[in-house]
Every structure is written in C-alpha cells, then in structure tokens.
C-alpha cells in the first residue's frame, strides 16, 4: 500500500509520461509535490522502485517507466506497445537534477560511520546514484590510488551490510576503524585488499569486520 505522497508522485510521473513522453525532472517533481528538498523525491522514487511500481531505464538521468498503478488510482495504463507508436524524443539529461546525501567525514577518521552521521550534506548529481540509500565519505590517503581513488575524493557509498567478492566496500574493523578496500575471502578469513602495491592486504576474522556499504561512484574537486 502506497503512502499519499508516493501515490501523488506516481500519478504525476504517469501523467507526464502520457502527455509528453518524458518523465519529469527532480525539480519538477519537487515543485509538484510541494517538497522543500529533492532528497525527498529521491526517497519516494526509491520506495516506488522497491515496490515494483516504477523502474529506472539505464544510463539516463530522467528515464522512468511506470510498471503498474495501485487499484486506488483507477486509471488504466496505456498499452506498452501501441499499434502506431509516436516516435520517442531523445530524453535529455537534466544537469540540475541533484540530490543531497549525508557527508560522514573522512574514511580514515578512525571512528564508526554511525558516529559521523548528520554532520554535513553533499550535493550529488542524481545520475551518479542508483536505487538505495547513499552517503558520502571524503577519502584520506593513497591506499586505493591504483583503483583511481585519490586523497581528497568523495566516495559515494550505497548502504549495504553484504558484499560480493571483489567489490570495493566500506568496512568497519572491530567497531572502531573504517576503511575503503576491496573485499575478498581467504578461506575462513576476510581479506581487505588495498589498490596500492606499497600496502599489504589486511586479514581479519569475519567477526571483526562489518560491511557499511559499497562504492557507487566518486566525486573529485580540481581546485
């Protein structure tokens, strides 16, 4: 069952797709729902996607497809493949579609991620983030330079407590120190690999390691 705001957003997206063939921008959705921040729209979209009402088309910032409507809306979806379809116009990438995510400090700060929450926010292009909840960390040090992750970069992290072999993750060691490394398994142990030949892998008992998220993207300043 959808909340009133989720249903209102779904109806707005469906109407715009029917009228224009293009999904609305984050700014347009924010104004239509009278929200103060585009981060609220991002959360609503994630909720609709998780419930199977919409999906994002890959590699496009504004491409949304409505998969179904709740019974309460009493509005049938148009056929997915009409006999004489109108040629679809190219969907532009909206440069001003940004969302704000929490900035939790420097990855080598030596304290749990939870202790850093709520300190600041970072504006991020929506196209860099997929579904799910995200936060940002400022990278400190050169342990991941061979993966293109440099000191001072902002690592965009998707929250998760599980990771696959070879993913770059934020790992919390002994509930005290956070680190950004490749996640590997070595027999019964967990191995966290740097991307710098000058550093040695770190090997831990699985009970010492808690996954806090996986790398979703990077932002870099050049001034």
Can you tell me the distance from the alpha carbon of 149 to that of 43, in angstroms, rounded to the nearest whole number? 28
Residues 146, 196 contacting (CB under 8 angstroms): yes
Q: Considering only CA atoms, which of 9, 66, 12, 65 is closest in space to residue 42?
A: 9
Can you tell me the distance from the alpha carbon of 17 to that of 11, in angstroms, rounded to the nearest whole number? 10
Active site residue 39: no
| 189-193 vs 98-106, strand pairing mode | unpaired
Active site residue 5: no
Q: Which helix (H) or strand (E) holds 50?
A: helix 38-50
Residues 110, 176 contacting (CB under 8 angstroms): yes
* Active-site hit among 25, 181, 189, 214: 181
* Active-site hit among 143, 189, 197, 214: 143
> Which DSSP letter does residue 139 get?
-
Residues 56, 64 contacting (CB under 8 angstroms): yes
Can you tell me the distance from the alpha carbon of 105 to that of 21, in angstroms, rounded to the nearest whole number? 41
Can you tell me the distance from the alpha carbon of 53 to that of 67, in angstroms, rounded to the nearest whole number? 5
Q: Considering only CA atoms, which of 133, 132, 168, 131 is closest in space to residue 153?
A: 168
Catalytic residue positions, numbered: 143, 181
């Amino acid at each position: 069952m959808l909340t009133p705001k989720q249903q209102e957003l779904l109806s707005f997206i469906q109407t715009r797709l029917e009228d224009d063939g293009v999904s609305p921008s984050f700014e347009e959705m924010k104004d239509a729902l009278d929200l103060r921040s585009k981060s609220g729209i991002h959360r609503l979209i994630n909720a609709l996607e998780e419930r199977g009402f919409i999906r994002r088309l890959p590699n496009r910032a504004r491409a949304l497809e409505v998969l179904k409507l709740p019974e309460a809306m009493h509005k049938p979806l148009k056929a997915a493949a009409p006999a004489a379809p109108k040629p679809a116009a190219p969907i532009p990438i909206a440069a001003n579609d940004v969302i704000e995510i929490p900035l939790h400090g420097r990855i080598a700060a030596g304290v749990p991620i939870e202790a850093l929450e709520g300190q600041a926010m970072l504006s991020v292009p929506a196209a860099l983030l997929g579904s799910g909840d995200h936060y940002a960390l400022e990278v400190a040090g050169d342990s991941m330079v061979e993966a293109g992750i440099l000191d001072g970069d902002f690592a965009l992290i998707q929250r998760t407590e599980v990771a696959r072999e070879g993913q770059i993750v934020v790992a919390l060691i002994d509930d005290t120190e956070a680190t950004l490394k490749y996640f590997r398994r070595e027999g019964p142990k967990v191995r966290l690999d740097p991307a710098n030949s000058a550093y040695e892998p770190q090997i831990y008992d699985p009970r010492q390691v808690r996954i806090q998220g996986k790398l979703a993207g990077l932002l870099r300043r050049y001034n």
